[in-house]
Amino acid sequence: MLIWLDERTRELRDTQAVVLLRGVIFLLILLALLTSLVELPAFSWLVSTTLPAFFLAIPVIFAPEIRRALEKLGRAGTRPFFFSSNTQNALEIQAMIKAVVTASARLSARQHGALTVLQRTDSLREYADTGVQMNAEVTPELLLQIFFPNTPLHDGAVIIADGKVVAASCVMPLSASGVLNRSPERQMGLRHRAALGISEVSDAVCVVVSEETGSVSIAHGGRMIRRLDSERLENILLAFFRGAPLKTPLEKISRFLRITPGSSSEEEI
């Protein structure tokens, strides 16, 4: 029980919900002090009259967080989308990951920005519908062509599901947390915020290539590991898509990479 509460607390940390909750608590304390320390009959009547309406407004204020919690509850106990029980599927997954890693390495060397979203359990159909439908085989050449600067599909995310490039130039939700604001490199732009955003509302794994520095990052569960080389990137993706029962995947992967969550390492934010 304590472990479960600790995991839920870690998920809520640095989110917009925590900021709103602090504001609500501060407002309630302020109102309690004003009504108890100062004799203001009219103000006390106004507070007692409007307070029930304020509590009814709380579900509206926290609507996105409530929806996210219900989505996580609904997918509890589901198996990974790419979980395979035969050698053929495992080989297809490995080939898909190899193509993504190869393309990311080449894009990094050329400093071409890219955002690749790998679907797992949660469906990304609503986000795929915002882009150009492709349903193509995952190859390094295709990804390189999509993310080549100034091409029609380079601006946006590529969604990969069931071993196929489902859509390109997709619009992703931006992160509402303050994770990137505490980063040593605050110039990270919309691609990184979009990667964190989609990882906050789904269990997708996102691979980001920075257009400014060429560094490769991976995002999952609202957290990001940065400055990955090809070998480490491939190991992380294989760990996610081999069907391992990871309750907190990024923490276990960070431990595998000898990175301690919350440490001063610049590779994780």
Taking the CB of residue 243, how many other CB atoms lie within 10 A of it? 15
Does domain 87-256 correspond to CATH entry 3.20.20.120?
no
Per-residue pLDDT at 147: 95
Collapse the DSSP code of 101 into the 3-class scheme (helix H, G, I; strand E, B; otherwise coil) and give the result. Answer: helix
48 class by beta-carbon count within 10 Å (0-12 exposed, 13-18 middle, 19+ buried): exposed
Per-residue pLDDT at 133: 95
What mean pLDDT value characterizes the chain?
Answer: 76
Residues forming a β-bridge with 136: 165
Per-residue pLDDT at 260: 37
Give me the percent of the chain exceeding a pLDDT of 90. Answer: 39
Q: Pick 147 or 56 by higher pLDDT.
A: 147
* 193-243: pLDDT as tens digits: 999 999 988 889 999 999 988 999 999 988 889 889 999 999 999 999 875
Per mean pLDDT, which of 34-38, 119-123, 137-141 is the most reliable?
137-141
- How do the domains of the chain map onto residue ranges? 2-74, 87-256
Confidence label for 145 from pLDDT (cuts 50, 70 and 90)? very high
Mean of the pLDDT values across residues 235-258? 62
* pLDDT reading at 251 higher than 60: no
Amino acid at 53: A
Q: Pick 241 or 244 by higher pLDDT.
A: 241
Q: Pick 169 or 262 by higher pLDDT.
A: 169
* pLDDT reading at 246 higher than 60: no
Q: Distance (Å, rounded) from C-alpha 159 to C-alpha 146?
A: 12
Least confident of 12-26, 125-139, 202-216, 248-262: 248-262
Cβ contact 223:268 at 8 Å: yes
Confidence label for 114 from pLDDT (cuts 50, 70 and 90)? very high
